[in-house]
Structure 1
Amino acid sequence: MAISQHYGTGRRKTSSARVFLRPGSGNVTVNGRTLEHYFPNAVLRMVVHQPLVMNELDNKFDMVISVAGGGPAGQASAIRLGISRALLGYNEQLKSVLRQAGLLTRDPRMKERKKPGQKAARARFQFSKR
């Protein structure tokens, strides 16, 4: 018997997340750990659950998530986008709600590259006249 599951990919900054939604009771596994262990920060857990809470689907899916790259905030946002895209596979009618909340838009902001002859992307070395 095949398990019905829905897949979504999310990216933010340098993080990439693969999200698998399966019908279940709300268990979330991130890189083999529970959500509470992976994201001790309550705000980041709230960011991850945002698409589900908004559509009142909070305890209807088990999620298996693998995420790599970046830091905690970027990873949480990547997971949020992946969940939103996976929800579209589950029900296309959720698109207007998710779109209006801005959950289907990939945030394009990336770190600016360091320039040669400078300390960082924009910061210069201290100038000395003499």
Structure 2
Amino acid sequence: MNKTLNPTFQKKNIGIGRRKEATARVFLIPGNGQLLINKIAGEKYLQFNANYLNKIFAPLKALNLDKQFDIIVRVNGGGLTGQAHAIQLGVARLLCQFDNNNRIILKPIGFLTRDARIKERKKYGLRKARKAPQYSKR
């Protein structure tokens, strides 16, 4: 990467997305539609899964910006599905940060909705979150 693009890697130009245990920090820089996840080409990182790639680029395609930005992501935690959803949310949030009018388009489609379903904690006296030991009457 060249030094002229570094000003875009600032705290104010970051989109954060979360899903389950996955957290994605997304940067958008002017480019031609490349995807870089954890310094690895996006297609290779997502194992060439078209569903994951389409999910990530969906907010850009909704705004007809799919070939105008490169997406650079730092993601950790969770699995590939959770990471793809987290990246999608981060991209959508960052697009709204750039131009507030994008929110009007992305909100009804559901790109700005955080999926709040996370793993339930284990409770004491139980084997898992809700699984109880077998009950014996005698």
Answer yes or no: same fold by TM over 0.5: yes
SS in 2 for 1:92: coil
Give unpaired runs (5+ residues) of structure 1: none
Deviation at 1:118, TM superposition (A): 1.0
2:83 pairs, out of 72, 75, 78, with 75
| Alignment coverage as a number of residue pairs | 130
Partner Cα distance (1:124, 1:44) in 2? 36
Deviation at 1:121, TM superposition (A): 0.7
List, as ranges, runs of 4+ consecutive aligned residues in structure 1 with deviation greater than 2 Å. 1-7
Per-residue CA deviations over 1:13-44 (Å, capped at 9, x if unaligned) read: 12111111001011110001111111122212
Say which is worse superposed, 60-69 or 88-97, in terms of deviation. Answer: 88-97
Tell me whether 1:125 sits opposite 2:133 in the alignment.
yes
Tell me whether 1:101 sits opposite 2:79 in the alignment.
no
1:64 pairs, out of 72, 80, 83, with 72
Structure 1 length-normalised TM: 0.91
1:109 aligned partner, one-letter code? R
What root-mean-square deviation, in Å, do the aligned CA atoms of Structure 1 and Structure 2 show? 1.6
Partner Cα distance (1:126, 1:58) in 2? 54
Give unpaired runs (5+ residues) of structure 2: none
Question: Identical aligned pairs, as a percentage?
Answer: 43
1:10 pairs, out of 3, 8, 17, with 17
Match of 2:51 in 1: 43
